[in-house]
Structure 1
Amino acid sequence: MSKRAITTEDFMKLEVFSDPQLSPDGSQYAFVSTTVNDKKEYQSNLFVQGLSEKTTRQWTFGQDKNSNPRFSPDGKAVVFQSNRSGVPQLWLLPTDGGEAKQLTTFKNGAVNPEWSKDGKLIIFSATLDEDDDVTNQKELSKEERQKEREEKSKQPLIVKNLKYKSDAQGFLDDKKSQIILYDLEKETFTQLTSGNHHHGYQDISPDGSTILIAGNLSEDADYEIKSDLYTIDTATKEITKLTDGKGSYYTARFSSSGNKIAFLGHKQQFAGATLTELFIYDISTKELSCLSEKWDFPLGDLIAGDTRLGASENGPVWSKDENHIYFIGSDNGVTNLYEVSLQGELKELYNVDSHVFGFSYNATQERFVVGVSTPTNPCNFYLLDSNAEAVQLTDSNKEFLDEVELSEPERISFKAKDGWDVHGWLLRPYGFEEDKKYPLILEVHGGPHVMYGQTFFHEMQLLAAKGYTVLYTNPRGSHGYGQTFVDACRGNYGSGDYGDLMSAVDYVVETYNFVDESRLGVTGGSYGGFMTNWIVGHTNRFKAAVTQRSISNWLSFYGVSDIGYFFNKWEHGHNLLDNPTALWDISPLKYADKVETPLLILHGEQDYRCPIEQGEQLFVTLKHLKKEVEFVRFPGANHELSRSGKPEMRVERLNHITRWFDNYL
């Protein structure tokens, strides 16, 4: 019996894993499972699995969001965050059974808990007003929160800062993220940081005397896109700056002895296109070294997808012998788990042509639990012991995968017209027959400094299921192919990157005789939306296009986007007043009169990254020119609509995309 084609609603049936956490003795691990409940809302719960067991056990229940499980050093308890009381708060759960106990009742919530090495303290972050008292925090009731929202909606928003809005958080206020210590024995709270800056917790030293934080504590922080590392003396609260104030540094971890610090970051040599590096700071000598200076791939997980929900560890993580560091790196469309010695010797620990989205390392047993996604399997966990084959621990989404037919991507490599090597993938349509002709859809990723890769992508599979050949590539500007490649589109949007995409279409049309050149479509979001707009203004070879959360006018983008005031300079070399003509020349809106391709514009009403006025300008201009265009506005949706937006809105979005292509292709 043949399997059925995947459907629009199928992403709501998926179970998505994240954040594996090995126990201190290395015998079991906890993780987060996110699903869509019967209210069509996301819910996440904690699960645990013994490494000698074949099944998982559920630790939390209900339709709330439970996440960030962290084992106590003795393994007897897990602290986690949950919004079951209304806003995220910290809860403590005994690992041998019993009910969870609520630890915090902070008005604005408490997040990202971690343990001190002796298990006496829990460190967490809380958003506070300058005069808030952490010893007297009271959680608002549902009615009180509703009343507060209503009162706030009646007041005008007074804006004094450049950074006054965020796509993730909406309009910002004067509250700042502070570091709080909770003493479990005394049941008391101590505020470690204060002032008009955000403080991001990184790690605590083995002896508990020092805490690492990341942030920008300068007076010019409102005008800067930088992040430095600092230490805080837990006794005196004295803050010491470790890095030079000339870059972005983060994810810092003490070695087990506390003598060294490993961290990620870069000096912004290529602005937002700079490869992430691995640094070591020696506390005794205050010497800083870069372990990755000879590598040509970025650290971290930079694969774009639409089914990753929840954060996971990317590294750096110290080994037991304190002479090695583990991390995830992005290279050539895959992410791998790597090991590097302090002498710079690099080794791949897990490389199976897939997407490693997270891992956990246990120093006692010297073993890993690795989270992996592939194009035909959303997620699973694997046990990886030193010098041993990986053993699959979970079999997630088995029922779903047993009943649907998924397309395995075919790798392609080709030469662009100017000789550059470019890499991509091709999905054949559901029910593929060699002697038939099929329409093709070109997908363009956002960023632009991310990469498509070997991960599960529901939208791609859906288009293949609808009978389309799907082409997705990593044009210049994408990560995973070296510093020169990722930097190649900066100051040159719509040139080499556009050429790469057209070369990809040329290659596929010439190589695969089942592709119907008369029925080509194109779509993309964010930078991919910009590129879709650019494409239809520069060629008529596509018979239909769908532009999503796009950019049409770099002049107005500068002032309306939450990143526009620095993004234009970083990516194009110009701010608004520097060279408005240059920004207009690379704005798709300038070429609206050349558009002959029927265009569907999709945009979220609450998108502050690429605000909806970008879609409005394009729609009004094209409509005024009597072009074939339609505009769909998604209420309450921000820039993350396609990835973590409300499930019902995600369904609507996909239905509009397939409707448009079905009509014209």
Structure 2
Amino acid sequence: MYAWLSKPALMGATCVSLACFSMSSAQASTFSAEDIFNLEHASAIQISPSGDHVVYVRNSNDVMRDNTQRSLWMLNTQSGEHYPLYADDASYTQPVWSPSGDRLAFVSSQSGRNQIHIHWVEHDRSARISSVDAAPSGLSWAPNGEQLAFSMEVKAPTSDFARSVYRPTPPAGASWAERPQIFERAQYQQDGRGLMESAHRHIFIVAADGGTARQVTKGNFNHGGQLAWTPDSEHIVFAANRSDNFEFESRQNELYKVSLQGDIEQLTDEPGTKRDPVFSPDGRRLAYTHGTADNVPYANSKLRVMDWSSRRSNELLTDFDRSVTSPYWQGNDALVISYEDRGATKLARVTLRGRMQDLVTDVSGMPSGRPYNNGMFSMNTRGDIAYTRGHATRSGDVGFKRHNRDAVYLTNLNADVLGQRELGEVHEFTYRSQTDDAEIHAWYITPPGFDPSQSYPLIIEIHGGPHLNYGPHFSAELQRYAAEGYVVVYNNYRGSTSYGEDFAMLLDNKYASVDDFGDHMSAVDAMIEKGFIDERNLFIAGGSAGGIATTYAIGLTDRFNAAAATNPVINWVSKVLTADSYIGQIQNQFPGNPWEEHEHYWERSPLSLVGNVTTPTLLFTGTDDRRTPISDTEQYYQALQLLGVETAMVRVPGASHGVSARPSNMIAKVEHALAWFKRYHVDSADAD
């Protein structure tokens, strides 16, 4: 583990890792709760135009502050040299190489607020070049290297209603209540941010050698996302919905270009969403991804290429039944794209004729605590690729693939922790669902020291989404379960992505339902058939959509000793009318508004089955969760109390939907579940 005081003063390192002063973790042979504080991972990996260097954000947990520190590190791909650019108490994010590779832009909180900085590589010097009021994002260099574009929120003008409210002035020395807050917009809250002042996102430009940032978009709309400069450095292409009703149009936007003088031109005019615009090196073509305008819970995003002179677009990989993201140009005649397939993220080269070839199949390593399939990559025009790389027992490293060569690891960030632990072994398998005999893809983890002649308690752990997927990726939470002697099974049940559009749509108007319930119960049955599961000790857990599936399941079966539901939806009517995701969810996941389709909402709600529940249930939710508000958890807790079912509600102060984002909360989530399951574990002697 590394934690440098500052750069250039790299003397007198201060340790922020628990391993620095706790020997219990170092002495353990299996993965412990304290080990979570010692894990690191790479993110925001960026390869230089020459391919000789890779810069990345190194994420390390600070045990004293219970948060993640983000430092900036450099790798030499030729020599393997690995050193910090900045590793102090400030946060460093969004590194972006200049077109010539001589400079590096990034965002840092060095000055107390997030500002744009430039690092001159040859001179090893840096300077802050912005002084803005809000956090900049989406940094993008102009091709001439003279300016950077970025987006930033700008407060909206006060409405006539708010201006007209009479507010008397308190007498000197008086202590009055805080002023009431006024909200008039549809999107007034966001999970992780809470209640928000009315603001709109706009595009700005700032000179690369510093100066005043200048706003180039206007209007009460949101402009941002990935920003693509035209080759002449005179315009910026972006995606936005500039309709007056944009907050209610969750499946619609267009591509625009804006000049440095603020003149805007619309480039596309078709239904659906457009994202990830990127120009070919010669500027003749613009690639982007396109999503459907249909009100459906899931659809594949497609790859499109626009001829810049005619503005006509054509679709590549039309028949490819996977979602395409993150296009990068490799020369002028091919692109590299990312896609998810059967729980793995892969990178593929696609020619303009639609020919496709896989390049990398192990994009991974951006941990969330559970084995979600995620990761990122960057590349230069000749095809060198840097990416987050990992597998089931290795997490968070920098991978590198030079053009036409095999991929290698450039880091081994967790060797000091995971290299000293006996981890649970991850096994892949498939089984048939009792629902309709559909094939379901799954994995299970066996405990350290596993002996197939013995019997082990089983936990089925269910992923969120539901339109996400698990895979053979490192999972701190599931490894903790395995370290305590459990076999852990996790599946990509119907509705999961990376298996094609039809499979993802099997839960259309059926979430939650007996259909996905059947997938989970069949996973338990398939594990029992393997001969090493103790049928007297079965447990169920999951978060978000997995929390919904958990509480729905215990309303249909009593086969589990205990359940642990994190961030569950219990009552879909109350959920969609209190959560930040209400507009898109109502439009795309339900047949109508809750007052129009009440029976449908009720049928999907675990609360409709609560009268059947006898399973002891642990509920774990953040008090500031605005995606699955804690009011839903409270409904279930109080219902179970009225029914006399053993239940415990754990409220995590200040936590949002990412309830385990802080290391101590991740530990708390797992350890509460383990303690709950231990309470209801049946010993063999007692059973006999």
TM-score normalised to the size of structure 1?
0.91
Instruction: Tell me the equivalent position of 2:342.
Output: 332
Distance across 2 between alignment mates of 1:131 and 1:520: 56
Within 5 Å, give how 1:583-594 maps onto structure 2.
583-594=601-612
Q: Deviations over 1:593-638 (max 9, x none)?
A: 1101100001111100000001000001110111111101011000
CA contact (8 A) 2:130 2:210 kept: no
The structural deviation recorded for 1:269 is 3.5
Q: Deviations over 1:251-277 (max 9, x none)?
A: 111111222111113114462311121
The structural deviation recorded for 1:236 is 4.2
Gaps of 5+ in 1: 133-150, 301-314
Matched, 1:5 2:26: no
Within 5 Å, give how 1:287-436 maps onto structure 2.
287-300=312-325, 315-320=326-331, 322-352=332-362, 357-364=375-382, 366-417=383-434, 418-436=436-454
Distance across 1 between alignment mates of 2:516 and 2:290: 26
The structural deviation recorded for 1:96 is 2.8
Within 5 Å, give how 1:229-244 maps onto structure 2.
229-244=254-269
Matched, 1:82 2:108: yes
The 1:181/1:628 distance shift into structure 2, 3 A limit, reads same
Question: What amino acid does structure 2 have at the position aligned with 1:524?
Answer: G
Question: What amino acid does structure 2 have at the position aligned with 1:502?
Answer: M
Within 5 Å, give how 1:140-539 maps onto structure 2.
154-185=178-209, 187-200=211-224, 201-244=226-269, 246-269=271-294, 271-300=296-325, 315-320=326-331, 322-352=332-362, 357-364=375-382, 366-417=383-434, 418-493=436-511, 494-510=513-529, 512-539=530-557
SS of corresponding position for 1:562? coil
Distance across 2 between alignment mates of 1:244 and 1:543: 55
Q: Deviations over 1:627-655 (max 9, x none)?
A: 1111010110000112xx22222222222
Distance across 2 between alignment mates of 1:431 and 1:450: 31
Q: Which moved more, 1:106-115 or 1:423-432?
A: 106-115
Question: What amino acid does structure 2 have at the position aligned with 1:500?
Answer: D
Question: What amino acid does structure 1 have at the position aligned with 2:203?
Answer: I
The structural deviation recorded for 1:195 is 1.6
Distance across 1 between alignment mates of 2:28 and 2:238: 51
The structural deviation recorded for 1:153 is 8.8
Instruction: Tell me the equivalent position of 2:680.
Output: 664
Distance across 2 between alignment mates of 1:272 and 1:586: 15
The 1:235/1:436 distance shift into structure 2, 3 A limit, reads closer
Q: Deviations over 1:461-486 (max 9, x none)?
A: 11111110000000100001111100
Question: What amino acid does structure 2 have at the position aligned with 1:654?
Answer: V
Q: Deviations over 1:287-330 (max 9, x none)?
A: 22221320111224xxxxxxxxxxxxxx200111x111111110
CA contact (8 A) 1:526 1:610 kept: yes
Q: Which moved more, 1:28-37 or 1:260-269?
A: 260-269
Match of 1:34 among 55, 59, 71: 59
SS of corresponding position for 1:208? coil
Distance across 2 between alignment mates of 1:657 and 1:127: 40
SS of corresponding position for 1:583? helix
CA contact (8 A) 1:277 1:298 kept: yes
The 1:356/1:486 distance shift into structure 2, 3 A limit, reads closer
The 1:185/1:562 distance shift into structure 2, 3 A limit, reads closer
Q: Deviations over 1:376-414 (max 9, x none)?
A: 001222221233222222222111122111123111111
Distance across 2 between alignment mates of 1:86 and 1:653: 32
Distance across 1 between alignment mates of 2:263 and 2:444: 55
Matched, 1:561 2:561: no
Distance across 2 between alignment mates of 1:197 and 1:153: 33
CA contact (8 A) 1:440 1:520 kept: yes
The structural deviation recorded for 1:85 is 2.4
The structural deviation recorded for 1:285 is 2.1
Matched, 1:101 2:117: no
Q: Deviations over 1:432-472 (max 9, x none)?
A: 12222110000110000000012111111111111100000
The 1:432/1:20 distance shift into structure 2, 3 A limit, reads same
Q: Deviations over 1:138-175 (max 9, x none)?
A: xxxxxxxxxxxxx9992222111121111132212222
CA contact (8 A) 1:202 1:213 kept: yes
CA contact (8 A) 2:456 2:486 kept: yes
RMSD: 2.1
Instruction: Tell me the equivalent position of 2:170.
Output: none
CA contact (8 A) 1:565 1:575 kept: no
Identity of aligned residues (%): 29
The 1:235/1:429 distance shift into structure 2, 3 A limit, reads closer
SS of corresponding position for 1:585? helix
CA contact (8 A) 2:425 2:447 kept: no
Within 5 Å, give how 1:599-614 maps onto structure 2.
599-614=617-632
How many equivalent residue pairs? 628
Instruction: Tell me the equivalent position of 2:163.
Output: none
Distance across 2 between alignment mates of 1:318 and 1:505: 45
CA contact (8 A) 2:71 2:86 kept: yes
The 1:376/1:185 distance shift into structure 2, 3 A limit, reads closer
SS of corresponding position for 2:347? strand
CA contact (8 A) 1:214 1:227 kept: no
CA contact (8 A) 1:525 1:547 kept: yes
Q: Deviations over 1:37-92 (max 9, x none)?
A: 23222110111111112231100021221011112223222110012323311111
The 1:152/1:259 distance shift into structure 2, 3 A limit, reads farther
The structural deviation recorded for 1:186 is 7.1
Distance across 2 between alignment mates of 1:347 and 1:489: 31
CA contact (8 A) 2:539 2:560 kept: yes
Question: What amino acid does structure 2 have at the position aligned with 1:331?
Answer: D
Q: Which moved more, 1:623-632 or 1:259-268?
A: 259-268
The 1:596/1:356 distance shift into structure 2, 3 A limit, reads closer
Q: Which moved more, 1:543-552 or 1:290-299?
A: 290-299
SS of corresponding position for 2:628? coil
Distance across 2 between alignment mates of 1:420 and 1:652: 36
TM-score normalised to the size of structure 2?
0.88
SS of corresponding position for 1:534? helix
Q: Deviations over 1:215-265 (max 9, x none)?
A: 211000122213423333424422222333522221111111222111113
Distance across 2 between alignment mates of 1:641 and 1:30: 29
Instruction: Tell me the equivalent position of 1:136.
Output: none
CA contact (8 A) 2:494 2:507 kept: yes
CA contact (8 A) 2:363 2:374 kept: no
The 1:348/1:496 distance shift into structure 2, 3 A limit, reads same
Question: What amino acid does structure 2 have at the position aligned with 1:425?
Answer: W
Question: What amino acid does structure 1 have at the position aligned with 2:278?
Answer: R
SS of corresponding position for 1:656? helix
Q: Which moved more, 1:93-102 or 1:291-300?
A: 93-102
Distance across 2 between alignment mates of 1:391 and 1:166: 39
The structural deviation recorded for 1:555 is 1.1
